[in-house]
Amino acid sequence: MTSSPAARSDASLELYNKKHLADLTGLAGMENFSPVARSAWTTDDGAATFCVPMASVIHGFIYNKDAFDKLGIAIPATEAEFFAALDKIKADGTYIPLAMGTKDLWEAATMGYQNIGPTYWKGEEGRAALIKGEQKLTDADWVEPYKVLAKWKDYLGDGFEAQTYPDSQNLFTLGRAAIYPAGSWEIGLFNTQAQFKMGAFPPPVKTAGDACYISDHNDIGVGLNAKSAHPEEAKKLLSWIASPEFADIYANSLPGFFSLNSSPVKMADPLAQEFVSWREKCKPTIRSTYQIPVARHPEPRERDLG
């Protein structure tokens, strides 16, 4: 079996096209996943799905609750409230408002642009329009997130241009920064390192009352080697991976990697539960450049599982 890359980057589709992966469209349990959940591992025409969706990661912001309590800051719900909170943190001077650097590039693209961007291009609505050619990356809805991100510059701390991804992680877990633009995959690590209470909030909406959007990004899928000597045995395993039972075990064993199964999973970890609860109030989408408009991932994501 083979693990597919985050939202495909079209690399796992190429494995299917080269007949390395079997068609799993009719696999028992595949009905447990929505079209969006399957999108990372489905052919462009929607005719075949070649991996069982296993996990997604959700974008948002992790914050230092102690810092917020000390400064009397409420969780920001709108863009204006977000920048007001950053101004208050900066004026106090105890904490760096935002723990993010720009040296590694992917960090700003992933936890910056793809984090807040769906709010402006309206998630799946905008992504679908982009794929259909009805919108362009130079349209206002796609450019506005860059303008908002440019305003982050004043809150990133000294030397952010040379700050790497691990630097940002350390600044936050050491208690030197108040807010971390995040992917939910940080939860397990941060739980072991941070000595303060943490919370999370979704990307702020532009104006109160606007619809909320989150990047609920397909990250891990498992496929079947088309030349497997034991395809029936492998299909039994894959059907179990597609089950609600597996979803509950997996998501709670690895907080921050959320099941893509349509059956809700109650998370034991409070920070993970906060992230996944946004699915109930926000509209989910995947990263805009990972299916059809291709974005190259900074590191190889294919792993042979035998």
Q: How many CB atoms lie within 10 A of CB 254?
A: 16
Above 80 in pLDDT, residue 6? Answer: no
**Amino acid in position 97:** P
Same domain flag for 119 and 248: no
pLDDT digits (tens, 9 = 90+) for 42-68: 988 889 999 999 999 999 999 999 999
Q: How many CB atoms lie within 10 A of CB 75?
A: 16
pLDDT digits (tens, 9 = 90+) for 97-154: 999 999 999 999 999 999 999 999 999 999 999 988 999 999 999 999 999 999 999 9
198 in the Ramachandran plot: left (φ > 0), alpha (ψ -120 to 50) or beta?
beta
Residue 217's pLDDT is 87
Domain boundaries, position 16: 2-57+214-304
- Scan for tokens 């064993």, then name that residue: 253
pLDDT category, 11, cuts 50, 70, 90? confident
Query: pTM to 2 decimals?
Result: 0.86
Residue 293's pLDDT is 61
Same domain flag for 183 and 252: no
Residue 290, classified by CB atoms within 10 Å of its CB into exposed (0-12), middle (13-18) or buried (19+), is buried
Query: Token digits for 66?
Result: 């102690």
Q: How many CB atoms lie within 10 A of CB 233?
A: 10
Same domain flag for 202 and 234: no
Above 70 in pLDDT, residue 193? Answer: yes
Same domain flag for 195 and 285: no
Query: Token digits for 72?
Result: 């009397």
Helices (H), 93-230: 106-108, 114-121, 123-132, 140-150, 165-173, 187-193
- What percent of the chain is modeled with pLDDT above 70? 92
Residue 304's pLDDT is 29
Above 70 in pLDDT, residue 299? Answer: no
Same domain flag for 75 and 183: yes
Same domain flag for 103 and 186: yes
Residue 44's pLDDT is 83
Query: Among candidates 217, 221, 220, which has minimal Cα distance to 285?
Result: 217
CATH of the domain at 208: 3.40.190.10
Same domain flag for 128 and 196: yes
C-alpha 163/C-alpha 252 separation (Å) is 32
Q: How many CB atoms lie within 10 A of CB 94?
A: 11
Query: Token digits for 15?
Result: 């494995």
Q: How many CB atoms lie within 10 A of CB 131?
A: 14
256 in the Ramachandran plot: left (φ > 0), alpha (ψ -120 to 50) or beta?
left
Q: Strands (DSSP E) along the chain, which ranges?
A: 2-4, 52-64, 96-98, 177-183, 198-201, 212-223, 282-285, 303-304
Query: Which among 212, 247, 274 is the end of a domain?
Result: 212
pLDDT digits (tens, 9 = 90+) for 204-238: 999 999 999 999 988 899 999 999 999 999 999 99
Residue 5's pLDDT is 39
Query: Which among 178, 212, 246 is the end of a domain?
Result: 212
pLDDT (mean) for 281-296:
74
Collapse the DSSP code of 145 into the 3-class scheme (helix H, G, I; strand E, B; otherwise coil) and give the result.
helix
Q: b/e map of 155-186 (b: 16 or more CB within 10 Å)?
A: bbbeebeebebebbbebbbeeebbbbbbbbbb
Same domain flag for 89 and 48: no
Query: Which among 212, 236, 262 is the end of a domain?
Result: 212
Average pLDDT for the chain: 90
